Amino acid sequence: MASSFAPPKLADFILTEKLGSGTYATVYKAYRKGDNREAVAVKVVSKKSLNKAAVENLLTEIEILKTVRHPHIVQLKDFQWDNDNIYLILEWCSGGDLSRFIRSRRILPERVARRFLQQIACALQFLHERNISHLDLKPQNILLSGNGLKLADFGFAQYMSPWDEQSVLRGSPLYMAPEMVCRKQYDARVDLWSVGVILYEALFGRAPFASRSFAELEEKIRSNKPIELPAGARVSRNCRDLLLRLLVRDPDTRITFDEFFTHPFVDLEHMPSAESLGKAVSLVLRAVEKDQAGERSMALSLYCSALEHFVPAIHYETDRQRKEALRKKVSEYVSRAEELKALVHSDNRHSFEEAKSARDILTEMSRDQPRLLSALELAAAAVTREECGMEDYETLDLYQQSLGELLLALAAEPQGRRRELLHSEIKSLMTRAEYLKEQIKMREAQTDVSLDRDLASESVRSSCCVQ
């Protein structure tokens, strides 16, 4: 009797422990026979369990996985069959799935969730360019391997142009877009909803439609109530914006794929990759050149931009010695950037003080223009916050709001003394706003380096490394 539970025999592989099973398939860990003993995952599909729809899904899964090669998509190495089963030989991912990873930590820090999101987005962009929709995105179908994530289980995936619609229910209700259930018509945009649910669960430990029963779940899915973040949620402005735009019930007003890929929270430009170090080195060489030429402000800006690529380069590097050497080098650049920051701040403050009388004149000349006066007061509030040490996004928002109004006023202002003063004030405020933006970027980069050290330590104790 026990033999009926033994793994099936496969000519070139030794199947060992069972990793999981579903309606049509069971997945085993296996080793390739021979000298290298390569570890793989073998998905065993019983032919007896397959109906017509399941056969079509399996053929599509094989077709898709045989044609795609991407660092964040599980690779199909081969497939075989015998009288009883079809075998998909897949890349082995040692870290388990994202669902288990989230449960083991309850919630993920925003920076870790963001790094994972970048990898998911990178894979989705690759699929989207080829008109492939996954249609079953959920943490259980995202595997951890080494430094990253890999999308897996393409059993429901389809070739879908942006205008193609489907009506067959696919996926798991907890991660299923509302239009799948409510309209019974859907398109590729359902993947964006699922990404939103995954990000929500990573940050808050539960899905937005988490329920005690299927009836309660269905009621939440069919409701018209907008998705809200948990009370007291502490996430960044960009993270909040992306979450609420992904989790829009109406696909016509949901964020688009192009908007998602270019969203500042996703920021694919700065995701860890093989190109990160080259970009960082190119920018830092220019920073050193400007620094030596005495162009402090430009040098500071370039150092900060370089740091935005150096930090992903540290995350991407797997060799411990090279990683530590990179950290030391980055610390040197951070120290120099801090020195430049103090010098540039002094220069900016001196220039701002020198222009004080002109600013006072501009304010007096604007008494008959309430909107212009209000914008100048907004700018003054931003300066006050910055001078008090509040170098944050709220201060940057004040600068950007005031500059938006002042630029509109400048466009409508006729030639004359007030226009000259307004033009000068806008230039001064832009300099301060750019300086503040660089400080925020540098602070975030330093935090990222610290986080990398924490995660590197944690990875020693964990089967999954996320540094």
Which segments are annotated as binding site for ATP? 43
Burial of 242-251, coded b for 16+ CB within 10 Å and e otherwise, reads bbebbbbbeb
**How far is the C-alpha of 74 from the C-alpha of 69, rounded, in Å?**
8
Cβ-based neighbours of 455, under 8 Å, separated by 6 or more: 112, 466, 467
Q: Which residue matches tokens 């798991």? A: 172
Q: Which of 282, 167, 176, 259 is nearest to 221 (CA)?
A: 176
Torsion over CA: 171, 98, 117, 201 (sign):
positive
Q: H/E element holding 174?
A: none
Query: What residues pair up with 88 in beta bridges, in sequence order?
Result: 43, 79
The half-sphere exposure of 424 on its side-chain side, counting CA atoms within 13 A, is 18
Cβ-based neighbours of 62, under 8 Å, separated by 6 or more: 76, 79, 88
Angle (deg, nearest 10), helices 417-461 and 320-354 = 160
- Give the active site residue among 136, 153, 191, 291: 136
Q: H/E element holding 422?
A: helix 417-461
Q: Is 360 a catalytic residue?
A: no
Angle (deg, nearest 10), helices 417-461 and 393-412 = 150
Cβ-based neighbours of 461, under 8 Å, separated by 6 or more: none
Which stretches within 19-139 are classed as H helix?
52-67, 98-105, 110-129
Which positions are catalytic? Answer: 136
